Amino acid sequence: MGKKHHHFSEMSADDGVRSPYATYNSWIVDQDTARLAQKARAAEAFFRRSGITFNVYGQSDGEERLIPFDLVPRILSAAEWSKLSKGVDQRVRAINAFLHDIYNRQEILKAGIVPIDLIAKNDAFLPQMMDFTPPGSVYTHIVGTDIVRTGEDDFFVLEDNARTPSGVSYMLENRETMLQMFPELFSKIKVQRVSDYPKNLRESLEASAPPNFDGSRPCVVVLTPGIHNSAYYEHSFLADQMGVELVEGHDLRVIDGHIAMRTTRGYKTIDVIYRRVDDDFLDPLTFNPNSMLGVPGIMDVYRAGNITIANAPGTGVADDKAIYSYMPDIVEFYTGEKAILKNVETFRCSEADSLQYVLDNLSQLVVKEVHGSGGYGMLVGPAASKAELADFADKLKARPANYIAQPTLSLSTVPIFTESGLAPRHVDLRPFALVSPQGVNIAPGGLTRVALTEGSLVVNSSQGGGTKDTWVLED
In a domain, 399, yes or no: yes
In a domain, 330, yes or no: no
Looking at the predicted structure, is the pLDDT value of residue 336 above 60? yes
In a domain, 456, yes or no: no
Looking at the predicted structure, is the pLDDT value of residue 99 above 70? yes
Looking at the predicted structure, is the pLDDT value of residue 5 above 70? no
The DSSP letter of residue 344 is P
Distances (CA, A) of 365 to 207, 319, 389, 408: 43, 21, 11, 6
In a domain, 103, yes or no: no
Looking at the predicted structure, is the pLDDT value of residue 4 above 80? no
The DSSP letter of residue 294 is S
Give the closest residue to 447 by CA, choosing from 460, 462, 434. 460
**Structural domain count of the chain:** 1
Q: How far, in Å, CA of 405 to CA of 419, rounded?
A: 37
CATH code for the domain of 370:
3.30.1490.270
Most confident of 96-100, 342-346, 461-465: 96-100
In a domain, 352, yes or no: yes
Q: How far, in Å, CA of 241 to CA of 243, rounded?
A: 5
Cis amide linkage into residue 25, ω under 30° from 0: no
Percent of the chain residues topping a pLDDT of 90: 78
Q: How far, in Å, CA of 336 to CA of 342, rounded?
A: 16
Q: What is the dihedral of CA 80, 81, 87, 88, to 10 degrees?
A: 150
List, for residues 165-219, the tens digit of each pLDDT value: 999 999 999 999 999 999 999 999 999 999 999 999 999 999 999 988 877 899 9
Q: How far, in Å, CA of 216 to CA of 264, rounded?
A: 21
In a domain, 447, yes or no: no
pLDDT of residue 3: 38
pLDDT of residue 409: 87
Distances (CA, A) of 143 to 312, 338, 388, 395, 473: 12, 20, 34, 31, 23
In a domain, 375, yes or no: yes
Please enumerate in sequence order all residues whose Cβ is within 8 A of that of 148, keeping only pairs 6 or more positions apart, or say none: 155, 156, 158, 344, 409, 411, 412, 428, 429
Looking at the predicted structure, is the pLDDT value of residue 408 above 90? no
Burial class, 21, CB count within 10 angstroms (exposed 0-12 / middle 13-18 / buried 19+): buried
- What is the average per-residue pLDDT within 39-44? 90
Q: Are 73 and 432 in contact (CB under 8 A)?
A: no
Give the closest residue to 239 by CA, choosing from 255, 227, 223, 259. 223
- What is the average per-residue pLDDT within 104-130? 95
- List the helix and strand counts (H, then E) for the chain: 14, 25
List, for residues 354-405, the tens digit of each pLDDT value: 999 999 999 999 998 887 665 667 898 988 999 999 999 999 999 998 899 9
The DSSP letter of residue 7 is P
Give the closest residue to 171 by CA, choosing from 458, 416, 444, 473. 444
Q: Largest Cα–Cα distance of the chain, in whole Å?
A: 72
**pLDDT tier for residue 50 given thresholds of 50, 70 and 90:** confident
Domain span at 365 = 345-408
In a domain, 392, yes or no: yes
List, for residues 74-90, the tens digit of each pLDDT value: 999 999 999 999 999 99
Looking at the predicted structure, is the pLDDT value of residue 59 above 50? no
**pLDDT tier for residue 15 given thresholds of 50, 70 and 90:** confident
DSSP secondary structure string, 218-265?
A: --EEEE---TTSTTHHHHHHHHHHHT-EEE-GGGEEEETTEEEEEETT
SS3 185: helix
How are strands ordered across the β-sheet holding 272-275? 245-247, 220-223, 272-275, 308-310
